Amino acid sequence: MDLPRRPRRLRRNAATRALLEETRVRVDDLIYPLFVKEGESAESVPSMPGVKRHSIAGLVDECREAQAAGIRAVALFPVTPPEQKDAQGSEALNTDCLVLRAVRAVKDALPELIVITDVALDPYTSHGHDGVLNSDGTDVDNDATVEILAKMAVKQAEAGVDWVAPSDMMDGRVGDLREALDESGHTEVIILSYAVKFASAFYGPFRDAVGSQSAAGNAYLDKRTYQLNPANPRESMMEAMLDEDEGADILMVKPAGAYLDIINEVAQSTDLPVAAYQVSGEYAQIHAAAEKGWLDLKATRDESILAIKRAGADLILTYFAKEIAREQG
């Protein structure tokens, strides 16, 4: 064949392929989500193989191992005991609540590790929603919730957190958080906004892990009045741009794998860093298929994260973070 261009020349051996690789996932791109619970022993999360709910002491050990492997940031999610939950999520404003004790312990032990905390009420409410309900209990009260979230963010900053991450999807919450943080002297605290968070079916294992699903029993907790419709890309861009205008430092898309088009569009539309969350359901399905022998765990894991990076994410939250870091190290 008389072919002036033979693209396979560029793929003929491993060295050439490595030299010409266009997208690479670095350890510095990864953020490690972790669960923390009361008590002295860890618990496995059945729907998330290899993931645990750590005690505070165990969390510090896990963070130490992650940092040694090269991880620079962790995101903490508390498992609030049922008896500490109420309709208002009052425990979120307790200065000695679980997650704030965990933040102080991690920062005391590992001051250089970036600690990120979730700003939403679902770990603390008896009904499992991300905010307080309106007077007839039919929907989340946006403005009343934002008022609580702003106070919550300040308390997290006072405990030593580096980044706050509002995940609630209330209107106007980024602007109120920025104002509250600045007025309380925490101008250095970064806001990693869950700017584009969809009402996704991929959150199930996470809700089991933190216990927010329990209020709904076997029914899937319906958050469609505040989380985005998966069918609406234009609406998702509006949300992202509003959060940028309100003062977000980083914009995040969640979930990641089913929304690569949204990640790409956000990345093309902003100069801010873009994050994406490879959520619990994505992690669980890769493990489940691998356990069945249907997929290769490592190859599928790496391809899924590479796709998120290729779509335009600068940062990736993934439960695979520590194992990837160890392999790269």
CA distances from 244 to 67, 70, 196 (A): 30, 29, 11
Q: Which of 103, 83, 101, 98 is nearest to 163 (CA)?
A: 103
- DSSP state letters, 96-133: T-HHHHHHHHHHHH-TTSEEEEEE-STTTBTT--SS-B
Residue 197 annotated to the active site: yes
Choice among 37, 52, 155, 254 that is catalytic:
254
CB 122 within 8 A of CB 212: yes
Distance CA 280, CA 222 (A): 17
Distance CA 270, CA 233 (A): 15
Residue 298 annotated to the active site: no
Ramachandran region, residue 252 (left: φ > 0; alpha: ψ -120 to 50; beta: rest): beta
Position of tokens 């969809």? 198
- Angle (CA) 93-95-97 rounded to 5° is 80
Position of tokens 């599928």? 300
Choice among 85, 197, 223, 322 that is catalytic:
197
Amino acid, single-letter form, for residue 319? Y
- DSSP state letters, 131-194: S-B-TTSSSB-HHHHHHHHHHHHHHHHHHT-SEEEE-S--TTHHHHHHHHHHHTT-TT-EEEEE
Distance CA 190, CA 47 (A): 31
Q: Which residues are catalytic?
A: 197, 254
